[in-house]
């Protein structure tokens, strides 16, 4: 089980395809992982009406979601080697 106390961030990306590829690699090598998806365009909890005022005009929609993939600290070295292509 991956908890906040035994996890380490493996990768952070805004690219949906890249995070899917990383997740596929981790699954192939049976490395447990967790993913945190953050919507960067959602309104602030401190100012709920801010998005309605500002909108998204001129903003890159490619940067709307951030994907952060975590692995257990003990699996980090192997996961990093798998993602970087050192282990095939």
Domain ranges of the chain: 7-43+59-84
Q: Which residues contact 14 (CB under 8 A, 6 or more apart)?
A: 62, 63, 64, 65, 66, 67
Residue 87 near residue 29, CB atoms below 8 Å: yes
Residue 12 near residue 40, CB atoms below 8 Å: no
Q: What's the confidence (pLDDT) of residue 75?
A: 97
Q: Per residue in 56-87, pLDDT tens?
A: 666 777 788 999 999 999 999 999 999 999 88
Q: Which residues contact 35 (CB under 8 A, 6 or more apart)?
A: 19, 23, 67, 68, 69, 70
The class level of CATH for 7-43+59-84 reads: alpha beta
Whole-model pTM: value is 0.82
48 pLDDT higher than 60: no
Q: Per residue in 19-43, pLDDT tens?
A: 999 999 999 999 999 999 988 777 6
């Amino acid at each position: 089980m991956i908890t906040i106390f035994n996890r380490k961030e493996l990768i952070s990306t805004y690219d949906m395809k890249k995070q899917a590829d990383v997740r596929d690699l981790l699954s192939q090598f049976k490395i447990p992982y967790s993913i945190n998806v953050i919507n960067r365009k959602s309104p602030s909890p401190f100012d709920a009406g801010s998005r309605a005022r500002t909108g998204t005009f001129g903003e890159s929609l490619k940067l709307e979601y951030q994907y952060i993939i975590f692995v257990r600290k003990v699996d980090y070295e192997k996961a990093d080697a798998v993602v970087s292509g050192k282990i095939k």
